[in-house]
Amino acid sequence: MALEAWLMDDSNEDQRLPLHPNPKELLTIDYLAELGVLYWKLNPDNYEHDSELGKIRDERGYDYMDMLDLCPEKVSNYEEKLKNFFTEHIHKDEEIRYCLAGSGYFDVRDKDDRWIRIWMKPGDLIVLPAGIYHRFTLDTGNYIKLMRLFVGEPVWTPYNRPQEEHPVRKEYIKSLTHKFGESIQAH
């Protein structure tokens, strides 16, 4: 099954719920790509020997990799970590995540500052562009195993919103303005 993404409703319900609007409307991978979000569907059972993953890593320069098992039983300060992941932020570099097991949500802001929820399941690899506002949470399964990829040594620094004057955010807004042919306002 392909990646699922949708505009979120504005509810204050449990962040681990899907938070679909009514009626439910799925977004296309092409729409995500317009925002700079890239997607591949891979075989998570063969990640150690997957030539397609190897090709993606080579072409994009992802030379560093580690694993994150995120669940209450495996992470100290689990609630605090999840709270930090769910705080809206940007990074100076791409954020590359490959789901090997479990599931969770990456939320990203669209050009109109609306939340898009991306449901990651095994086999989904996404790349979030530098400068896009985003956050992460688990779904109700409370478990995900992610491969994290980086160009060079990883930089973990999140820049919490607001960051409209940050150079990488300005560059991202400029790229959206070019793609959509309209002035994108920093929110």
Residue 49 annotated as part of some ligand binding site: no
Q: Which two tokens stand for residue 159?
A: 């820049």
> In sequence order, what DSSP letters do the residues of 127-164 get, joined into one string?
EEPTT--EEEEE-TT--EEEEEEESSS-----EESP-T
- Check whether 20 is labelled as a binding-site residue: no
| Residue 128 near residue 105 (C-beta atoms within 8 A) | no
| Dihedral (Cα; 131, 74, 154, 64), 10-degree rounding | -120
Measured on CA atoms in the order 179, 180, 183, 187, is the torsion positive or negative?
Answer: negative
- Determine if residue 91 is labeled as part of a ligand binding site: yes
Under a CB-based contact definition with an 8 Å cutoff, are residues 147 and 105 in contact? no
Annotated binding residues for Fe(2+), written as ranges, equal: 89, 91, 95, 134
Instruction: Provide the annotated binding site.
Output: 89, 91, 95, 134
Residues flagged as binding site for Ni(2+): 89, 91, 95, 134
